[in-house]
Amino acid sequence: MEIRYSTDAEAFYVTIGQGEIASTAHISDDVMVDTEADGTVHGIELLCRPAELTDEERASLVGRFPVAAEALAAIERLTRMSA
């Protein structure tokens, strides 16, 4: 898992998979999930910090893509360390 932060876009991108992106699931205006052809998660884009996600956004994201829970926790750890 690799976490990148773009200061230009003010966005986090968590890379999980190693294949090619086949499609993107739009969870909300702040959350998109790139998936590979076999349905595995390639990456997760957040346009906010995980703490700013609504309960609905978090439930939808983790409900559809359980691996997102680990990604959100990793971003939360990083943002706490840099605060």
Which whole number is the average pLDDT over 2-16? 93
Residue 64, pLDDT above cutoff 90 = yes
Residue 74, pLDDT above cutoff 70 = yes
Scan for tokens 């884009």, then name that residue.
45
Reported confidence tier of residue 82, pLDDT bands at 50, 70, 90: low
Half-sphere exposure for 78 (CA within 13 Å, toward CB) = 15
Q: Please choose, from the candidates 3, 41, 7, 4, the residue with its C-alpha nearest in 3D space to the C-alpha of residue 21.
A: 41
Phi (first) and psi of residue 14, to 5 degrees = -105, 115
Residue 60, pLDDT above cutoff 80 = yes
Question: pLDDT tens across 11-56, in order?
Answer: 999 999 999 999 999 999 999 999 999 999 999 999 998 989 999 9
Are 66 and 15 in contact by the 8 Å Cβ rule? The answer is no
